[in-house]
Structure 1
Amino acid sequence: MSSRSSTHGHVTTRQGDGTILVSPRNEADQSASIIICHGLGDTAEGFVDVAEQLSSQLPYAKFILPTAPTQKVTMNMGMAMPSWYDIVGLDKRSNEFCKGIDDSQAKLTHLINSEMELGLPRNRIVLAGFSQGGALSLYTGMQLSSSTTTNNGDADTTTSTTITPLAGIILLSGYLPHASAFHITPGLENTPIFHGHGTLDPLVKLEAANESRSTLIEQHGATNYTLKTYQGLAHSINPQELADVLDFLHKVLPPNEECKIKLKDPRQMSIKELKAAIGKAGLGNRAVGFMEKREFVELLQLFRQGKL
């Protein structure tokens, strides 16, 4: 991690691959995750302020901001820039050519699975994004595969397949990409979707937003799709839209103590892992002079228990 800062009880860290995390200072407090994908030509840095602002109202949520790979974009004269997939043009026909979208879809799915490996159920995770990032979030979130659980009992081994939707999907100034290849995984039709769009958006026009909503509802059976428009807003986000996003997040991700992530027991952590966790918690000064692993373990245990 190249840099670290603290705000509102959250810690912002920047990783070498361009991913930025805004996470609870005490990792043990996390019970939800929100993945935010930036728009074309931007990076994760473009949404740090938004994530930090939202984190002040969602103290139990971790925000994950990935950065898209740099690749040539046909619509921008072949110039290389951060892009989740190639964009040939803004018309409906051109929108069917989205080279690279499968790789980005796989990346988002991997991020979701990584959070689930920490113990979060899928319905405590939200996918969000702006413009191209919102399009990718919609495309990925409604096509997630089922999760398979294997139960190894004393008798026969049983395997069950469950379909669990995300807590929600947020797309701002976005649209449905690669519509001809899109489908909704059976069981995910009721995934809550919030789509915010400006009435004067010159890039992703309002008619594209209306068509995306109609396609998901009428052709694919989505049952929980809300499209809200903002008068006079261009290809951007305004305070009212951000307030509506926060309201949506409070609705789909209410506090839930039972969904806290499962952290590695400090007693099973290496000295390196202990020092990293203590540093992230801002407890480095308290560990000065520590010589034995037991001291690091006790410090981290007390912090996770809320006693520091």
Structure 2
Amino acid sequence: MAESLLPFVEVSPAGEADACVIWMHGLGDSGHGFAPIVPELKLPQSMNVHFVFPHAPERPVTINGGMRMRAWYDIKSLDFNSRADAEGVRQSAAQVERLIDAQIAKGISSERIVLAGFSQGGVIALHLAARLDRKLAGVMALSTYLSEPDKLSEEAIATNKSTPILMAHGEQDEVVPVFLGQAAYKIFADNGFNAEWRTYHMQHNVCLQELRDISAFLQTVLA
């Protein structure tokens, strides 16, 4: 039996969709968290972009005393190299890959799909950006870091090396320190990916200027 898709919130365009953004939330949030951002992006109506905001599965999170919450993977420690539970990352990446395939089955080319993620969701977006064998339109990794940074060079494939990757971070981020985002950017750039690094005067959140830059990025890669 085929595995069921992750549940999600969707924001559909007025016309028939010809592009899709799949956007993963952060720890303890849900797909509802980022859905209200869509009108704030002020994308031209003619773009007909369908937004999908999946809900991460609920699981116990070690650093939060084993409390169950929506999480793309467990966080066992705050150490840079082992912060993300690698097996959980791979399981969630496989579930998001099924969402990508579901959009392709609806007639949207993978090259019209943007993968986006904030914090934990960004970890999944970056994991797939390096390993997905379908060409994407773009990737947005916001206030995030890299799972298993030491494995990227041996596991990365070339499919999305030319795909624009926007990596953005708050300079005052107290949850995911900015150096973790910078380290992830450097690893991607050193491995030949088309990554761009931006910082903002903010904490672990999204600000107005970042929203404007996200809108411009989407209008460029989905033009």
Which residue pairs with 1:118 in the alignment?
106
Contact preservation (8 Å) 2:131, 2:156: yes
Contact preservation (8 Å) 2:82, 2:147: no
Cα distance in structure 1, aligned partners of 2:10 and 2:62: 31
Contact preservation (8 Å) 1:96, 1:179: no
Larger Rg: 1
Contact preservation (8 Å) 1:70, 1:81: yes
Shift of 1:103: 1.5
Shift of 1:96: 5.4
Alignment counterpart, residue 39 of structure 1, candidates 26, 35, 41: 26
Alignment counterpart, residue 92 of structure 2, candidates 75, 100, 104: 104
Alignment of 1:20 onto 2:9 = yes
Shift of 1:240: 0.4
TM normalised by structure 2 equals 0.90
Contact preservation (8 Å) 1:97, 1:178: no
Closer/same/farther in 2, CA of residues 250 and 56 from structure 1, 3 Å limit:
closer
Alignment of 1:221 onto 2:192 = yes
- SS of 1:128's partner is strand
Q: How does 1:1-308 map to 2 (within 5 A)?
A: 18-26=7-15, 29-54=16-41, 56-58=43-45, 59-95=47-83, 97-145=85-133, 164-182=134-152, 183-218=155-190, 220-222=191-193, 224-231=194-201, 233-254=202-223
In structure 2, stretches of 5+ residues that fail to align are none
Shift of 1:118: 1.9
Closer/same/farther in 2, CA of residues 188 and 17 from structure 1, 3 Å limit:
closer
How high is the sequence identity, in percent, across the aligned residues?
35
Q: Which one has more relative contact order, counting CA pairs under 8 Å at least 6 apart?
A: 2
Query: What is the one-letter code of the residue matched to 1:188?
Result: N
Shift of 1:243: 0.4
Range that drifts further, 34-43 or 89-98: 89-98
Contact preservation (8 Å) 1:88, 1:95: yes
Cα distance in structure 1, aligned partners of 2:142 and 2:59: 23
- SS of 1:86's partner is coil
Query: What is the one-letter code of the residue matched to 1:175?
Result: Y
Query: What is the one-letter code of the residue matched to 1:195?
Result: M
Closer/same/farther in 2, CA of residues 87 and 108 from structure 1, 3 Å limit:
same
Contact preservation (8 Å) 2:115, 2:140: yes
Shift of 1:184: 2.0
Closer/same/farther in 2, CA of residues 45 and 116 from structure 1, 3 Å limit:
same
Number of residues paired by the alignment? 216
1:105-161 residue CA offsets vs partner (Å, 9 max, x unmatched): 11111111111112222110000011111111111122112xxxxxxxxxxxxxxxx
Shift of 1:55: 6.4
Cα distance in structure 1, aligned partners of 2:220 and 2:56: 29
Cα distance in structure 2, aligned partners of 1:109 and 1:17: 10
Shift of 1:93: 3.1
Cα distance in structure 2, aligned partners of 1:116 and 1:55: 25
Cα distance in structure 2, aligned partners of 1:203 and 1:236: 10
